[in-house]
Amino acid sequence: MTLKTAERTQINGEKIIKIASSFTHVVQGTPVYALLDELYEPVRNAIAVTDADGVVQGTIIPNDLVEILGKPFGRDLLKRQFVEDIMRPAFTFRYDDYIQDVRERLAGDFETGADGYYVLVDADGIFRGHVSSRDILVHTMNDHARELETGATIQSRLVPPCLDIQGKRLSITCSSVMAQGVGGDYYYVREYRPGKWFFCLCDISGKGISAAIITAVLAGFMYNADFSQPIEDTVIRLNRIMLDTFRLKKYLTGIFMKFDEESGELTWCDMGHSFFFVIEGSSVQQLSEQADNVPVGLIEDPFPVAKTLRVMPGTIFLLVSDGIIEQENRQGESFDINEIGIITDECARKANDPIRAKVRILERFFDFKRDMPQRDDISMLLFNYRES
């Protein structure tokens, strides 16, 4: 046999040998035609050239063989050559180097888009395998996919797809559907004292792993926050954490609210979000088309402005993310927020629970967009203050 196979190595950790795609080598002095007799076309993997002891002398690149064979009388030309005549100098790594280290050292090569083939050797220069730029990129993609899957799992626990909470006179129904595996929407609801509530809906800048990290930071903050303090103080502390953690690289918009069931008093800070509506019958009215404050995490001292109103029993408020407002259908039309009012009114008249209303709203949204891509994460929070 002209072609030889390196002994496979059992090794722990994320070492580069684990993603090697080729282990074949040939001893110098071998005629090229003898090598060709054992190869199947198309040739996809590099072949190392070694001495009799297995020490690497060079490498044969698949494209070189293809180019020579494509020339007139190419196979005849190769009959007069030995493998060392067509090999290239070997670019080597230790087989027990970490994948991440190799990937960082080859970052510049990946930017060119060219196929690269790298020889893996042991401490004595003995051939152990070949790894290609494609192997590394595929591993990177798979690694990234696993990270996204983990991020999506964590985020779905922190921001569940649906949540329904019932108080003595209050019901809050939330829903979130991410456009990608890991999105940028966040909501939170807590009764921090009997009859006293905090809730928010936020839109985080960015997607993917960075959004998952911000979601985790938000969740940790909310878990430990003292909501008995003025809502402005809560926002200021969150702003400080965002600045200290992300240094203006990331920010979030959101509406932060406190509600007292007994008095009906609602206090809120609109931090660059503004998608806050009141539903009266089937009519949906936006309380303010402009936010009162800048997003969280953009300036040192935000001095947030809070607003307060007295909520009458029977009032329904709606918070949504911009993914609902900005979604378009095939005709380029935006989703009509009044559809939510119509559905909510119908469900109220039929004494349907808020969960049924939420399901019908999502059904109407996805029927509207049909096969158009979901442009952004869609989240909503329905707040219903009932009679005592």
| Domain ranges (residues) in the chain | 4-140, 159-385
Question: For the residues 128-141, what does the mean pLDDT come to?
Answer: 91
The identity of residue 156, as a single letter, is S
260 vs 74: which has the higher pLDDT: 260
CATH number of the domain at 159-385, out of 3.60.40.10, 3.40.220.10, 3.40.50.11260, 3.30.70.20? 3.60.40.10
Given a contact cutoff of 8 angstroms between Cβ atoms, the answer to whether 372 and 323 are in contact is no
Given a contact cutoff of 8 angstroms between Cβ atoms, the answer to whether 61 and 43 are in contact is no
pLDDT at position 78 over 90: no
Q: In Å, how far from its chain's centre is CA 239? A: 23
Whole-angstrom distance, CA of residue 261 vs CA of residue 224: 23
CB neighbour burial string for 223-241, b if at least 16 within 10 angstroms, e if fewer: eebebeeebbebbbebbee
Q: What percent of the chain has pLDDT over 90?
A: 56
Q: What pLDDT sits at residue 54?
A: 93
The identity of residue 271, as a single letter, is M
pLDDT at position 36 over 90: no
What's this model's pTM, rounded to 2 decimal places?
A: 0.78
Whole-angstrom distance, CA of residue 166 vs CA of residue 156: 21
Whole-angstrom distance, CA of residue 215 vs CA of residue 138: 28
Q: Report the candidate in 332, 357, 368 with the shortest Cα–Cα distance to residue 279.
A: 357
CATH architecture of the domain covering 4-140: Roll (3.10)
